[in-house]
A and B are shown apart, each in its own frame.
Chain A
């Protein structure tokens, strides 16, 4: 069964840092591009970042550029999102999603930025 499981969310103060992880199983992780997408409470979906299967190509939304870093470890079947200089507006459920089709999605991990 194809599965994505996010972890690493929590409560962090403004200006703080957090590292999210996404553990993949049930498919050849190294063959797929991956994305992070977030959803603020009661709001719609917002794409955050993309990484190619090899990690050589990376894109970011303007809202996180310079603050967030996406990476992956194909040997560990894992995707990461390093989030620095966090702001209140970064509060959201963060999902990882597989491939060109964004399918499937993980269950999400909640990041709350508040003092």
Chain B
């Protein structure tokens, strides 16, 4: 059971816009930045969005992130076949026993 909640799957056709949600609580998303990672099949995760809505250099502007309260979302516009991957949201959680990273369970994106 992951601390952050994501839908297990999402899908879209090429060119479509898809959004992936991530729900948390006041101790994680509500008070800290949200990060998104893309994991292509058989590879290590790669940073996609940092500090809620910032894109690292090299990440296409088709990818965008947003946050509101204790929820966040990742939007992918102009869907392409190479976007088929697992997507994870993450945030620091300010627990009483010490801060720690929490992840969503991941969303498997299928491009139909």
| Interface positions of A (Cβ within 8 A of B) | 35, 37, 44-47, 50, 59, 61-62, 95, 97, 101-108
Contact = CB atoms under 8 A, between A and B. Distances in A.
Nearest to B95: A62
A102 B39 CA distance: 13
Interface in B2-58: 2, 35, 37, 44-47, 50, 56
Nearest to B48: A103
B102 A47 contact: yes
B106 interface: yes
A47 B100 contact: yes
29 contacts: A35-B101, A37-B45, A44-B2, A44-B104, A44-B105, A44-B106, A45-B37, A45-B88, A45-B90, A45-B106, A47-B100, A47-B102, A50-B101, A59-B100, A97-B45, A101-B35, A101-B47, A101-B56, A102-B37, A102-B101, A103-B46, A103-B56, A104-B46, A104-B47, A105-B45, A105-B46, A106-B44, A107-B44, A108-B44
Contacts of A45: 37, 45, 88, 90, 103, 106
Given A101-B50, A105-B45, A44 B88 contact: yes
Contacts of B105: 44
Contacts of B35: 101-102
B99 interface: yes
- Interface size bracket, B side: 20 to 34
A61 B47 CA distance: 21
B45 A95 contact: yes
Contacts of A103: 46-47, 50, 56
A97 B100 CA distance: 14
A101 B99 CA distance: 15
Interface string B68-111: 00000000000000000000101000000111111111100000
A50, A103, A106 interface centre (most CB from chain B within 10 Å): A103
